[in-house]
Amino acid sequence: MKTALVTGGNKGIGHEVARQLAARGFHIFVGARNRGAGHAAAKAIEKNGGKATFLEIDVADNTSVTATARELAKIADHLDVLVNNAGIMVDGDDAILKISDDIFRKTLETNMLGALRVTRAFEPLLTKSKAPRVINVSSGGGQLTGGADGWAPAYCISKTALNGVTSQLAAALPKFAVNSVCPGWVRTDMGGQGAARSVEEGADTIVWLAADAPQNLTGKFLRDRKEIPW
């Protein structure tokens, strides 16, 4: 059975990705900081006939991440797909010259370093897969092409940095498929109910990269299953 870990898999895009991959026969590991929400998300997937296991993980805490990797290794002998979906946008992230160092650090710690830290910890299990895949959930706000518009600068810069991590990981892991995804503006807790896209639309390219895309597609930034500029 194929296996996938989705961080931030308890709600929003992450939960929809987990749900869709479970429906396609993956054993899903739902990674979340919130124990109650994580257990509930895994149970919801199992209620619909999927196989899901909750794993408590705080991507901003290296001790938590390494402990979770050990926990997964007790359950499965390999990991096929890692979806680095967990991310934050902190209150006060609204003007580049006014954001505190603490907000910047907290945002980068989770959104960029978190993805790198999780990939590093789970790399030994991913290496045991015949076709390992790492998908970093980024944002069009992280694109350097086209310029910034001033919206949530710490969040956007963290996604630019995450794209840099994607590029470096793709070079360091030539047998892996490592890509960044822009899901678009999605109706989630972060995106708000006025957003243009459903969670199903936001999850589509991530699920495609996890299950259907060619293994030699790597080191790219994608939206709607098509490459977009960094």
Domain CATH code at residue 167: 3.40.50.720
Closest to 152 measured CA to CA, from 142, 138, 165: 142
pTM metric for this prediction:
0.96
Number of helices (H), then strands (E), in the chain: 7, 8
- Where do we find the tokens 């997937």? 45
Q: Which amino acid is at 74?
A: K
How many C-alpha atoms does 104 have within 13 Å on its Cβ side?
10
What is the number of alpha carbons within 13 Å of residue 145 lying toward its C-beta?
7
Is pLDDT at 203 greater than 90 in this prediction?
yes
57 alpha-carbon distance from chain centroid? 13
Cite the active site residues: 155
> For the segment 102-156, what is each residue's pLDDT rounded down to a tens digit?
999 999 999 999 999 999 999 999 999 999 999 999 999 999 998 788 899 999 9
Q: How many domains does the chain have?
A: 1
Beta bridge partners of 181: 137, 222
Q: Which residue range forms the structural domain that includes residue 70?
A: 3-227
SS3 content of the chain, % helix, strand, coil (to 5): 45, 15, 40
